[in-house]
Every structure is written in structure tokens, then in C-alpha cells.
Amino acid sequence: YAQQQLVCAACGCVLAEGLLTTTYTDEEHLREVAYSQSTGQKEQLSRCLQRGIRRVQDLCKVLQLPAVFEETAVSYFQRALQLPAFRLVSLEKKELLGGCCVFVTCRQHNWPLTMGTICSLLYAKQELFASVFLSLQKELGLSVPALSLADLVKTHLSSFQLFQPTPDVPAPFLEDKEKLVARTMGIVELASETWLVTGRHPVPVVTAAAFLAWQSLQPRARLSCPLARFCRVAGVDLPPPAHLRLKELLEILLGMASQLAWLRGFDLDKRTVVKHVGDLLQHRVFLLKNAFCQEGGEEQQDAASGQGSPEEGTPGQDSAGQGSPSSPPVAQEKKSCPLSGKRQREATLRPLLPPCLIHPRKRLRPAAPSTSDPALTGDEPISDSEIEQYLRSPEEIRAFRKAKAW
Amino acid sequence: FKDDFSTSPHLFTPVDPYDVELPIQTTEDVSSSQFNQPKELHTDFSSVDLSFLPDVTQDNKEQSLSEEGHETQKEFDGSVPRNEDRVCMDESSLPCPDGTLPSPEGSEVCPPMTPMTPVTPVTPASGSSDIVPQLQNIVSTVNLACRLDLKNIALRARNAEYNPKRFAAVIMRIREPRTTALIFSSGKMVCTGAKSEEQSRLAARKYARVVQKLGFPAKFLDFKIQNMVGSCDVRFTIRLEGLVLTHQQFSSYEPELFPGLIYRMVKPRIVLLIFVSGKVVLTGAKERSEIYEAFENIYPILKGFKKPS
């Protein structure tokens, strides 16, 4: 499978054909041939499997993953392809399967690779990738640890081009990497504690946090720069949800700022609060407790919950009813806030809840009348007239036939 | 995620599962109609081996009860309201004659037929949920047992849609019960959208009648509920990141893919979608008891995540 040839360097003409070599010969001549490149391995694996393994290896090289990742990913791929769930799927899915194996391996080693990255490398539709990923997880029984947000912050910020002076980056944009990472981390943690992260795409949160962090480190110069421009200069994509995450973060910060003694005098808005992010982060535990309506002790009906002291608020549960919420959570919360000295203040503050509960979008549909019919047996007589309403009259049929030329 | 149509093994076999009609009322009635009264009431426990009791897990319960060979009830019959301490109910095969709530320790309220209660302290009565999942969708199938001319049906029925290039079935809808049916040329039919088993059956019969009136010799064979979907609200927020850590082998939480946590419960074999708002969707059931059981299993787990870490 290998030939030594003497080729003219100038014109490329072959001057002398070499010998047909074998592994034995090559090894005699001290040339190592990897097993993966010899015919031995190829004979054992199907072409499809070979192709897939090559793909997995290429992906690992592109992502610059450690060698041990490649071995793990390839072994997952081989195992998966043997299972009936994957053996007969389309070629497109098999390609995604390779990507999934790499993705799972990364996550298991806490290597913060996002699905978005893998999908863009594979030119894959995210829904398809998602289904292959979930099947892979189920079929191989793999436990995939959650994406570590802290690691994601570090890797994501590494791709920002703000740390080295380049011709594209104006001086006011440059920032110290350590400082930016530390502050972004603080803001991301704050977001996590205030329910802005659970259930949401992680990257937009990091992008919005990085922007806020960057602004707050030199507010005078940077307050006028919008998020879009920041991302453009930094050379990163601006994911659409980042604007919303930014808005939510600013709202939280404003709420917290209202509790800082030396800021109460100022009339802060979402631009000026950025100047004080450092202070707000430093005292965030105290501020969160005071800035948002906490869950009162009387709502803890069950002693078994174990965790004694009320912490950042969860919605009041004083009414035991289920089904549709009779009143919006905010109103409920106001009633159920504890009778402490802070009651007045808390009555005007909002509860610390995920945004989906504070701004519920769905209006509950009233249940259909037949739903609650208790006596329904399913064997009720069916009247002819009821069925006939669903049948076309002969004239209608004629008209349709004419129109559609059936 | 795909709907799982495989049948999950019944924990307790009622005498006539398919003859039972379940009224859509409070669950106490559900349990009464679904299961027969126990034929035997044990008063003497001297021969009973209670050494298995301390760990009250689902597996143990199953094991112990199969060992005993009881025809035990999953839930009390109608005399006892459902929203009481579930553990007590599960352990006991006996109804409480005076209909009052047995305390977790059980013995003082239910005279001579002492329910089998675990010796380790259990969560108090308020620990069990007062929440009952509401059924939102039932998917059923039936065989009309005759070949159908779909074009003909689409022409002659008002409530039919047929686009063979997109999908090889007629999509038919009726107003009451508000449902949709997929009718295939083989004569097989899928009925979706009903909110109860009876509604699904009634709707399927109506579709069959429509097909009959269109001139086909439609029958009504092998009606089967294939999937049931329920939902409810636990009324507190849930730290999904924490839940996926402690229940890794059952959970899949990928915020990049889907905002909710996908929990694959083994017993009963139900998939739950758990959201940060506290809303829970339960699917994959063939019987409504599986939905209720799954929710009762997940509720204490979710309560553990009620407070942010």
C-alpha cells in the first residue's frame, strides 16, 4: 500500500518506481506504520464505521481536544453504531452521531463545549442534533454532567478580542482579561441566583454579563457603547436573547441598588447603575435578601422541608389549591409577605422569581364543558343528526367535484 | 423525545382492567372504580414478616407485597379521601372504616385493622401533595377493519383534510368531544385531543360512525389507549441545575435544547417535563393511575429543591 518513488522536483516526472512494501519490510527499515493505517484494521471495520471514526478524529483535532478525548469519543461512536438504534439511521444522522460522541466526551471531562459550536461545525440542524444526542444518552446509558457555567465564561471570554491592542480595537475597548473574567463571573453568578439562567440558553447570559462587566470597569468611556457594537468590536456573535438577558440583569441590579445605603439618594436608571456594579456584586447576598420580597415563614406548612430560614423568595403557597392560579403571583406574594418591620417596603418590591412567572405569557384556557362531565362512559348513544352534520350534502359534493375536478 | 408506546407493567392488577369505566371526578372515585374491594381483610398480622418495613422505597413495596401475595390496593377505596399521607395508604391494604384520615403512625385512628405502616418516621400528612395532575391529552387507536378510500372520504366529509403529498392520512375533526383523528387507508385510526379515556372512546366511535355513514363497513376493533398526558403545577420554583445533579441517572437538563428538565421515571415508566416555574408535564402513561403515581413520586423530590441552594 505504500510505494517509494523517485520524482523529479522540477517537473514531477516519476523517475523510478519503488518497491511494494509491507509492514514487515517497513519495520525492517525502521518506519513505523500505525495499525490504524495498515490494512489490518481496515479489514475489520466497515467503511461506514471507518468514515465515522475519521470524522470523530477530525473533529477532535479541529477543537484541539486532548488525545484521551479522541479515544473516548471513538469508543462511544463504535459502541453506538453497533446498536440497532443507530445502525440503520440515515448518513446525516450518523455524522451527527460522531459529533454527539465528541460533545458527550467533552461534557464528561467538563470541557465547556456548547451544542451551538458543535452544530455549526457539523452544519447540523439543532433539532436533529438534539434528538440524536438524547437517543445516544439513553441507548448508551451515559451520564452527561451539566455544562459548567464558570468554565463556559472562561472559554467564551477567551474568544473576545479585547485583550490585545490590534488596529481594529480602539483603545477604550481594551480590557484586562483577568479583571473582565472575574467580574463577568460575578455577574453570571448573580444571574444564576436570581433565576435568570435556569432554563435559558447559557451563551447569551454570558455575553450579556460580559458586556455589563466590561462597561462597569470603565463606565465613563463605555456607557455610550451599545451591546451590538461591543460584540462587533470584540469579534463575537451577538445571540438574539442577549438583549433580553441584559435588560433582566439591569432590572435586578437596579432593585439591588435601591437597598444600598449610599446609593439611595441617587436616582439611578439602567445606565447609571452600571457604574456601581462592583459594589453591588460585593454586597450581593445582603442586597438580594433585602431587595426582593422573601418567602415568609408562615407559608412553610411542611416541617419536613428541612431548610429552616427563608431564603431568596419562592412564590407564596398559602392557598393549597391546584389548577389555575387565581391571582397573579405578585399579588399573592404581597399578601403573604411576613409581618416584619420591613413589610411596608416589601409590599412594593417584586418577588425573586423566574421571569416566566413574573410575566406569564399564557392565559389559561377555560376547560371545555365536556371535560368535567363526570358521568361520561364513552358508550353513550350517538345520534344520527350529530354525525350527519359532518357529511356534505349532494349539492356540496357536486360543487366540490366541479371545483377540484376530482 | 418520542412517545413511548410500550406497556409498563402493572403494579397491581385489577380484576377487569378494560371493563372499568373511570368517572372523571376526584381521585377517590377513580381509585374506587379502578380497583375492586379487597376480598380478604387481614386482622391477624402474627404471621406477617414485617422486617422489610424500614426502607419504604417503591421497589421494597412491590417486593414485599408480592411476597405477601396480597391483592393490595395502590390507593384506598372511596371511603378514604386521597389527599392524606400517601405512605400510609400504600402500605395498607385495608380501608379505614370511619373514613377519617389515618395519622402517619396509623394505629390509633384505624381500629382493629391496623394498617401496615413503616417504622421509620415518614413525612407528615402535609408532606403529600394536595395537587392532582389534570389530564390534557389522550391518544388512542382503533381498527375500523376495512380498507378506506381516503379521497372519497375527503370529498364527502365536511370535517376532513387530505393532502397526500404531505401526509398519507385523512385528518378529521369533530367538535364534541373536541378531538382530531388520523384515518389511514388501511382502516386504522388514531384519535387525539380528548381529555379523558371515556371521551377518547366516545370520539373514536363518532369518527367510526362518520366513516360508516360514508358507506364503508367500518367496525370498532381493538380500541386502545396508547398515551396519556397530564400536567400540574407544584406552585414553587425549582432549581433544575440542582435536580439534574442529584438525579443524574434519570434526568436530562440541557438548557441549550429545551428549557425544562426531562425526567425518565422507571416506576412507573413515565417521562416528566419539569420546568423552573414549577409546572410539570407527565406523559407516556397507558393508565391514568400511572400519571398520579408518577406525580406522587416526583413531588417529594421536587420539594427538596424548593429553596434555591
Prediction ipTM score: 0.71
> Which alpha helices (H) appear in B52-196, and where do they start and end?
58-68, 86-91, 150-156
**b/e per residue B99-132 (b: at least 16 CB within 10 A):** eeebbbbbeeebeeebbbbbeeebbebbbbbebb
Identify which has the larger pLDDT, B130 or A340.
Answer: B130
CB nearest to A322's CB, from B176, B233, B244: B233
Taking domain B140-225, whether its CATH number is 3.40.50.2300 is answered by no
CATH number at residue A68: 1.10.472.10
- A115 with A174, same domain: the answer is no
Instruction: Report CB contact under 8 Å: A382, B209.
Output: yes
CB nearest to B210's CB, from A201, A372, A387: A387
Asked whether the predicted pLDDT for residue A267 surpasses 70, the reply is yes
What integer pLDDT is reported at residue A313 of this predicted model? 38
- A156 with A278, same domain: the answer is yes
Residue written as grid cell 379515556: B197
A327 domain residue, yes or no: no
pLDDT tier for residue A219 given thresholds of 50, 70 and 90 = confident
Domain boundaries, given as residue ranges, for chain B: 140-225, 234-308
Identify which has the larger pLDDT, A187 or A266.
Answer: A187
**Omega before A351 within 30 of 0, i.e. cis:** no
- A216 with A259, same domain: the answer is yes
pLDDT tier for residue A375 given thresholds of 50, 70 and 90 = confident
**Omega before B17 within 30 of 0, i.e. cis:** no
Asked whether the predicted pLDDT for residue A338 surpasses 80, the reply is no
Is B216:B170 a contact under the CB 8 Å cutoff?
Answer: no
Residues of A in contact with B241 (CB under 8 A): 146, 192, 197-198
- A66 with A83, same domain: the answer is yes
SS3 per residue for B15-38: CCCCCCCCCCCCHHHHHHHHCCCC
Mean pLDDT in residue range A191-212: 94
Asked whether the predicted pLDDT for residue A300 surpasses 80, the reply is no
How far is residue A255's CA from residue A352's CA, in Å, rounded to a whole number? 10
- Polymer length in residues for chain B: 309
What integer pLDDT is reported at residue B88 of this predicted model? 38
Q: Which CATH architecture has domain B234-308?
A: 2-Layer Sandwich (3.30)
CB nearest to A387's CB, from B134, B209, B264: B209
Range of the domain at A223: 150-293
Asked whether the predicted pLDDT for residue A244 surpasses 50, the reply is yes
- Residue A130: closest CA among chain B residues belongs to which residue? B257
What integer pLDDT is reported at residue A329 of this predicted model? 41
- A125 with A160, same domain: the answer is no
Is A348:A333 a contact under the CB 8 Å cutoff?
Answer: no
Q: What's the pLDDT tens digit per position in A32-88? A: 666 666 666 556 667 888 888 999 999 999 999 999 999 999 999 999 988 888 887
What integer pLDDT is reported at residue A261 of this predicted model? 76
How far is residue B34's CA from residue B22's CA, in Å, rounded to a whole number? 7
> Which alpha helices (H) appear in B2-161, and where do they start and end?
27-34, 58-68, 86-91, 150-156
Report the SS3 class of residue A42.
Answer: helix
CA-based radius of gyration for chain A: 31
Q: What's the pLDDT tens digit per position in A341-351? A: 444 444 456 78
What integer pLDDT is reported at residue A147 of this predicted model? 83
Q: How far is A322 from chain B (nearest CA, A)?
A: 6
A321 domain residue, yes or no: no
CB nearest to A314's CB, from B195, B262, B307: B307
Which of A92, A121, A145 is the last residue in one of the domains? A145
Identify from A106, A195, A206, A302 which residue to disrupt to test chain B contact, counting B C-beta atoms within 10 A and taking the largest count. Answer: A302
What integer pLDDT is reported at residue B124 of this predicted model? 40
What integer pLDDT is reported at residue B51 of this predicted model? 53
- A70 with A179, same domain: the answer is no
Is B200:B206 a contact under the CB 8 Å cutoff?
Answer: no
CB nearest to A199's CB, from B1, B240, B303: B240
Strands B270-274 and B279-285: antiparallel
What integer pLDDT is reported at residue A27 of this predicted model? 53
| β-bridge mates for residue B112, sequence order | none
Q: Which residues of chain B have pLDDT under 70?
A: 1-128, 307-309
Q: How many CA atoms lie within 13 A of B63 on its CB side?
A: 11
- Residue A372: closest CA among chain B residues belongs to which residue? B24
DSSP annotation string for A61-102: HHTT--HHHHHHHHHHHHHHHHSHHHHTS-HHHHHHHHHHHH
Nearest in space to B159 (alpha carbons), one of B176, B135, B137:
B176
Torsion angle of alpha carbons A217, A221, A225, A227, nearest 10°?
-10
Q: How far is A103 from chain B (nearest CA, A)?
A: 12
Q: How far is A302 from chain B (nearest CA, A)?
A: 6
Q: What's the pLDDT tens digit per position in A157-184? A: 998 988 888 888 888 888 899 999 999 9
Asked whether the predicted pLDDT for residue A316 surpasses 70, the reply is no
Is A128:A96 a contact under the CB 8 Å cutoff?
Answer: yes
- If you average pLDDT over every residue of chain B, what do you get? 73
Give how many domains chain A has, as a whole number.
Answer: 3
- If you average pLDDT over every residue of chain A, what do you get? 78
Asked whether the predicted pLDDT for residue A20 surpasses 80, the reply is no
The C-alpha cell at B259 is 428549557
Report the SS3 class of residue B14.
Answer: coil
How far is residue A75's CA from residue A1's CA, in Å, rounded to a whole number? 27
B262-267, Cβ contacts within 8 angstroms, sequence gap of 24 or more = B262/A134, B262/B1, B263/B298, B264/A138, B265/B294, B265/B297, B265/B298, B267/B11, B267/B58, B267/B59, B267/B62, B267/B297
A395 domain residue, yes or no: no
A404 domain residue, yes or no: no
- A165 with A120, same domain: the answer is no
| β-bridge mates for residue B174, sequence order | B179
Asked whether the predicted pLDDT for residue A252 surpasses 60, the reply is yes
The C-alpha cell at B134 is 389534570
Mean pLDDT in residue range A254-260: 85
Cα–Cα distances in angstroms (integers) from residue B177 to residues A97, A159, A403, B5, B224, in the given order: 43, 56, 32, 24, 17
Number of inter-chain CB pairs under 8 A, A vs B: 175
Nearest in space to A379 (alpha carbons), one of B212, B223, B17:
B223
How far is residue B204's CA from residue B192's CA, in Å, rounded to a whole number? 9
How far is residue B130's CA from residue B100's CA, in Å, rounded to a whole number? 16
- A81 with A139, same domain: the answer is yes
Instruction: Report CB contact under 8 Å: B308, A311.
Output: yes
The C-alpha cell at B164 is 397526500
Which of A293, A309, A332 is the last residue in one of the domains? A293
Instruction: Report CB contact under 8 Å: A202, B200.
Output: no
- A282 with A180, same domain: the answer is yes
- A26 with A62, same domain: the answer is no
Mean pLDDT in residue range A324-344: 41
Instruction: Report CB contact under 8 Å: A370, B177.
Output: yes
Asked if B53 has any chain A CB less than 8 Å from its own CB, the reply is no
Q: What's the pLDDT tens digit per position in B179-220? A: 999 999 999 999 999 999 999 999 999 999 999 999 999 999
What integer pLDDT is reported at residue A406 of this predicted model? 53
pLDDT tier for residue A94 given thresholds of 50, 70 and 90 = confident
Residues of A in contact with B214 (CB under 8 A): 391
Which of A242, A272, A293 is the last residue in one of the domains? A293
Is B309:B245 a contact under the CB 8 Å cutoff?
Answer: no
- A175 with A289, same domain: the answer is yes
- A238 with A196, same domain: the answer is yes
